[in-house]
């Protein structure tokens, strides 16, 4: 089974300081057809105006990933986590039994553009935790790099779920493949650029979900610029 999620069909929240697009149901946006994909519960694409952001608020029992596409994002939580994420950097925050944090645009004169991703953990009420890292974009050019995994292999961020996230960057005509197994679910999200997956052309924000599929997935970059492809490998 395959499902296509067009960027233009996502839920939208627009305020004076925030432009947010929700791949799955979140906050005031609710669509029973789009409640998540396995343990993958949230992919929000946020653009936050200079100097603005989300004031302190709480979470529990969720693995939260932030990926800055452009600009800088300041983070602070009540578990001692604090820092600024810049373009290309990733942050993992495990809310565990409960954590309060804030996220603000770290710039006073430029917007920040980032993805926030929530994955349901495979355990509850663990100790909150936080980590931040940068993956060399050139290391992802034309080949898959593991960004997130259950065991932190190859320098990836270790999360509390039997899920992995892979990333690849593709120029026009560059292609990679990925083996699909029917026992797993997969979610392919195009974070930037343009790509072709099979015979489907994808634009930024488009996504495809796969369930009970065996075979080989082929992704090819197209057009001007670099395709930034994220692929979630998830429990069924």
Question: What CATH number is attached to the domain comprising 85?
Answer: 2.60.120.10
Instruction: For strands 157-158 and 145-149, give the pairing.
Output: parallel
C-alpha to C-alpha distance for 177 and 181, rounded to whole angstroms: 13
Q: Is the same domain home to 173 and 83?
A: no
Assess whether pLDDT exceeds 90 at residue 77: no
* Closest of 196, 197, 191, 200 to residue 222, by C-alpha: 196
Residue 79: predicted pLDDT: 83
| C-beta atoms surrounding 43 within 10 Å | 27
Domain interval for residue 53: 9-135
At 44, list the tokens: 């929000």
Domain final residue, candidates 72, 100, 135: 135
pLDDT tens column, 109-152: 999 999 999 999 999 999 999 999 999 999 999 999 999 999 99
pLDDT tens column, 32-50: 999 999 999 999 999 999 9
Query: 34 near 105, Cβ under 8 Å?
Result: no
Domain final residue, candidates 82, 113, 135: 135
Q: Is the same domain home to 112 and 157?
A: no
Query: 219 near 195, Cβ under 8 Å?
Result: yes
| C-beta atoms surrounding 151 within 10 Å | 11
At 74, list the tokens: 């300041």
| C-beta atoms surrounding 109 within 10 Å | 7
């Amino acid at each position: 089974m395959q499902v296509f999620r067009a960027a233009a069909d996502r839920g939208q929240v627009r305020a004076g300081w925030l432009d947010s697009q929700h791949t799955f149901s979140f906050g005031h946006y609710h669509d029973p057809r789009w409640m998540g994909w396995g343990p993958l519960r949230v992919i929000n694409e946020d653009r936050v105006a200079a100097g603005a952001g989300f004031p302190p608020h709480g979470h529990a029992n969720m693995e939260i990933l932030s990926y800055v596409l452009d600009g800088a994002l300041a983070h602070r939580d009540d578990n001692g986590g604090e820092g600024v994420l810049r373009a290309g950097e990733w942050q993992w925050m495990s809310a565990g039994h409960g954590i309060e944090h804030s996220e603000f645009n770290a710039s006073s004169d430029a917007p920040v553009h980032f993805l926030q991703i929530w994955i349901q953990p495979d355990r509850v009420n663990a100790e909150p935790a936080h980590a931040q890292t940068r993956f060399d974009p050139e290391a992802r050019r034309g080949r898959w790099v593991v960004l997130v995994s259950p065991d932190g292999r190859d320098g990836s961020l270790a999360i509390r779920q039997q899920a992995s996230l892979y990333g690849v960057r593709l120029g026009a005509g560059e292609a990679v493949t990925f083996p699909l197994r029917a026992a797993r679910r997969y979610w392919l999200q195009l974070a930037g650029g343009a790509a072709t997956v099979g015979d489907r052309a994808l634009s930024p924000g488009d996504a495809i979900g796969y369930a009970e599929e065996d075979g080989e997935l082929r992704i090819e970059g197209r057009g001007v610029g670099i395709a930034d492809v994220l692929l979630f490998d998830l429990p069924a």
